[in-house]
Structure formats: C-alpha cells, structure tokens
Amino acid sequence: MYFEQFYLGCLAHASYMLASEGEAVVVDPQRDVDIYLKAAAEHGVKIRHIFETHLHADFVSGHLELASRTGAKIYIGARAGATFEHVAVSDGFELRAGKALIKVLETPGHTPESICLVIMDEEKSPNPWAVLTGDTLFLGDVGRPDLSKTHSSTRLAGLLYDSLHTKLLKLADDVLVYPAHGAGSLCGRNMRAERSSTIGTERLTNYALQIKSREEFVRQVTSNLPARPEYFLQDAEINRGGAAPLSELPELPPISARELKSLLDEGVIALDVRPCEQFAAAHVPGAVNIALSGQFASWAGTVLGLSARPVLIAESPEQVSEARLRLARVGIEDARGFLEGGIEGWKQAGLALAETPQMTVQDLNEKLRTRQSRVLDVRREPEWQAGHIEDAAWWPLDNFKVSPPEIDRDAPIAVHCKSGYRSMIACSLLQRAGFRNVTNVVGGFDAWQQAKLPVEVERPVAV
C-alpha cells in the first residue's frame, strides 16, 4: 500500500493519499489539488475516492474540484448536511481500495458530523494499521468543541469524550495516529509539532485522554479556548456546498500608485505581504503587513475577514500569485488587485512612505525602567499565562478584528509577540487605526527570555 501525508505548513494542515492496486483515496484535500494529481500520476494510480473527515472551518477544501477533475466519489459524515453530490457515511461503512480497507468511525465532538477512518493494509495484516483522526484527536490535544451553530460546546465536548473512549481508545496501542492538523492550528489548543503518533503514545501523554471523568473532561476542553475567528463558520458553510475551482478566479488587475492612494482614502485595505523587516523600513502609509513567511492565510482571515477586498503589495509577480493562492485557501477570493511596481512604483509616483520603528529587548527594558514606554503583549492567553513582562498590557492579536486595545493613541507603545511576526501585524493595524507612536520589539518574548530579563506569571487582565 502506498501512503503519503501532505503537510501545508502555513495552515498547519495535513491531508493524505493512500492507494493499492492502482486505486487511490484522498483524505481532507487542501484547496489547490494539483499536488494529489501529480502524486497519483507519479505512482501510477487513479484517484477514485475522496473523504472529508468533517466540514473544515479553518480552510476551504478542494474536494469538489478534485472530484470534478478525477470522477472520484466524495464521502462525508451523514450529519454534515452536504449539498454537493456525495456518499453519506456512518458507523460501519467500509470502502475497499485494492488490498486497503477503510472503516468509518462516527466520532462527533469537534463537529457533529466528524468521522475517523481506520485503515487496514491487508497485504501485511488484517488488523488496523492506522487511523486518520481528522480534528477529533490531535497529537497532545483534541479538537475544540465550539465550532457548531447547532450544538453547544458543552454538548459537543460530552460527545467528544464518548467518541474518544468508546471508539478511538478501543484501538490497539500500536495503531498509528494521523490527524488533520498540527502545532499552530486554531482547531485545538496545544498540539505537538510531530506529524504522527500512536494510540498508545496518546493514551499515555495526551492531557485530554488522562481525564477520567466525563464531567471534568467537558469542563477542561470548554475552558480557555482560543478566540474563534469569524471566518471559521463561513468556511464551514463554503465546504458544505463545495468551493469553485481555483481556475475560475479572474486575473488580478494591476493598480497604479495614485489609484491605490485614492482607494486607501476610501478605507480599502492594502495588504503588504513582504517580510517584516522590509515593511518596517518602508511601506505604504496605512498598509497592513502580514508576511508570507508565517501563517499568512490564517491571520489574514482572522484580522481582515473573508469580505476583505485587499490590494496586494508584494516584491514580485510570484509573490502576488503566492499570496493570492494562500488567501483563496481560507476563502478570501475577491482581492481588488496588486500595486503596480510594488513599493518602487509607489516611490516613483512621488508618494510618501511610512516606517515602523523597531527596538531590541534591551532597549525596551531600559525604556520600561525609565517609564518612557508602555508595552503591549499580543500573544494568546496560554502564552501570556506561561510568562509575560511585568506591567504589560495584554490584547491578543485575535481580538484586533473586533477592536484595537483601549490605550492612549499618542503614548509610546512597544508591541511584542513570541518572535516578532504577530507583533508587526499588530503594529501595522495600530498605525492604520491612528496610533502615532508604535514600535515593534525585535525577537519578541523569545528574545526577552534569552536575554534573561524578568518574567512575571499570572492570569491576564485584558486592556
């Protein structure tokens, strides 16, 4: 049996292909599906089946396009209410692809329609070899239970406990575990960075599987959840009906510097996808920086929303194309265009550029000691609780879509996150909102700790 994991780092998303005797199955495909077609051609197999473990909320799936291009059937949990042509599956459903056998386990909890797929490689053994757990069981964590419009988080958490203990934990310890997400995904809270595990390892090390009481499990998995981005429910609805092929997206038009200036005056968002250092040195005034180097699409969906129609600012046509693809992966499809000539085009039009000052953690420590600046921490709550700078204000970047922090817009503010990526996003949003004295802290809290500067631990009080 051929088996391959495809890991998309910018979304911390894992999808899978398995094949036997020329017949292939794809599980939880990303939106751009050429990678599966290429892999199938390289291994001389035909994609005949596509499984969705649930209606994904954090990205737009490519199941419909992949089915259209291959003739494959799509299989999804019977409770999904999917409106595209599909096979509704429930407990006991089996699919054979050559000598590979897939058995469906209904595992509601992350969502009502969640399923897991138990894989048997009958060339080697009649016993289960692996389980594809979707967002039900992660490495070191379980799926968050608050993404449903029809079920309360408490009800789903109870169902999740039942699914884990009556279905997944009944599998043998040596069964491999392959989830749909890894560290960094907002579909859980604290996933490990490895790409696979075993039932036995998770039984011993996963905090959620150590909780014996159903009541205590519900309490723990429903508390201190990271903020749910607004676009999650929208993506789930897109996936319920199936997204249009990427090939149907129109070409992005070039937009002149003068035209962009007029659009900015009207409130249009300019999205600068260049590295943080380049943005800090020179950028279009009012532009938002979300660098392609990090979890670009997730943060674009979180702080801009799916209805945003940004003008892209990039270094090259390749960067524009990459940004557009990543935006489409989370459902931002209607970008207005891109700045013709990039920053050089803006300069050549004689228009002013803005800067974002940066400082080291040593500079920050001195300014805090002499009370010359206030510090704003934009990390998530678990990060803050693990340690933060004394007297820092706390306003996680996830909250910026709702409102900026309630602090003096004229006061000096030093912004930090873990390493500097999120803090530059926050700085650009603050500058766009009219904050006049914002500085990014280079290296973030990691650099602060490496410099052995003082750290405080306590529960946060948001500003």
- Nearest C-alpha neighbor of 61 from the set 431, 331, 332: 331
DSSP string, 197-253: EEHHHHHHH-HHHH---HHHHHHHHTSSPPP--THHHHHHHHHHH-PPPGGGSPPPP
With contact defined as beta carbons under 8 Å apart, do 314 and 338 qualify?
yes
Cβ-based neighbour number of residue 32 at 10 Å: 15
Could you tell me which residues come within 8 angstroms of residue 205 by beta carbon, excluding any fewer than 6 positions away?
A: 140
- Nearest C-alpha neighbor of 339 from the set 265, 389, 284, 391: 284
In this structure, the dihedral spanned by the alpha carbons of residues 243, 248, 249 and 250, taken in order and rounded to 10 degrees, is -160
With contact defined as beta carbons under 8 Å apart, do 137 and 164 qualify?
yes
Strands 94-97 and 100-106: antiparallel
Helix axes 153-166, 214-221, angle to 10 degrees: 130
Task: Tell me the CA distances in angstroms from 289 to 213, 275, 300, one per residue in order.
Answer: 45, 8, 10
Catalytic site includes residue 116: no
Residue 338 CA, chain-centre distance (Å), reads 24
Structure tokens at 395: 């306003």
With contact defined as beta carbons under 8 Å apart, do 299 and 258 qualify?
no
- Nearest C-alpha neighbor of 206 from the set 222, 223, 224, 194: 194
Question: Could you say which DSSP state residue 268 is in?
Answer: P
- Nearest C-alpha neighbor of 168 from the set 143, 203, 206, 220: 203
With contact defined as beta carbons under 8 Å apart, do 411 and 439 qualify?
no
Q: Return phi, psi of residue 167, to 5°.
A: -120, -70
Q: Which of 116, 187, 276, 417 is catalytic?
A: 417
With contact defined as beta carbons under 8 Å apart, do 292 and 313 qualify?
no
The backbone region for 354, taken as left when phi is positive above 0, alpha when psi lies in -120 to 50, beta otherwise, is beta
d(CA 347, CA 38): 42
The backbone region for 268, taken as left when phi is positive above 0, alpha when psi lies in -120 to 50, beta otherwise, is beta
Q: Which residues are catalytic?
A: 417
